[in-house]
Amino acid sequence: MLNKRPFCLSIAGFDPCAGAGILADIKTFESFGVYGMGVITSNTFQTDNEFVGLEWIELDSILKQQKMLMNKYHFESMKIGLVNNFDTLQKVIQLAKKANPSIHIVWDPILASSSGYSFHSSSSMELQFVEENCTLITPNYEELKQLWDIEPALFACQFNSALLLKGGHRVSETGTDILFSNNASTEIPGVSFHGKSKHGTGCVLSAAIAAHLAKGENLKDSCTIAKTFVEKFILSNNSNLGFHEIK
In tens, the pLDDT along 6-18 reads: 999 999 999 999 9
Q: Does 54 fall in a domain? A: yes
The per-residue pLDDT of the chain, averaged, comes to 88
**Structural domains counted in the chain:** 1
What percentage of the chain has pLDDT greater than the value 90?
61
Whether residue 239 lies inside any domain: the answer is no
Over 80: is that where the pLDDT of 91 sits? yes
Domain-embedded: residue 14: yes
Question: Is the pLDDT reported for residue 56 higher than 60?
Answer: yes
242 within some domain:
no
Q: What CATH number is associated with residue 119?
A: 3.40.1190.20
pLDDT value at position 128? 85
What range does the domain containing 127 cover? 7-234
pLDDT tens for each residue of 132-181: 999 999 998 888 888 887 766 665 555 657 999 998 555 566 678 999 88
Q: What is the DSSP string of 149-193?
A: ---HHHHHHH--S-EEE--TT-SSSTT-EEEEETTEEEEE-----
Chain centroid offset of residue 229 CA: 14
**Distance from CA of residue 95 to its chain's centroid?**
18
CA dist list (Å): 21 to 17, 26, 116, 133, 162: 10, 9, 17, 22, 22
Please check whether residue 1 lies inside any domain of the structure: no
Q: Does the residue 243 lie in any domain?
A: no
Lowest mean pLDDT across 72-76, 89-93, 233-237: 233-237
- The more confidently predicted of residues 146 and 213 is 213
User: Residue 68 falls within a domain, yes or no?
Assistant: yes
Query: Terminal CA-to-CA distance of the chain, rounded, Å?
Result: 27
The answer to whether residue 163 sits within a structural domain is: yes
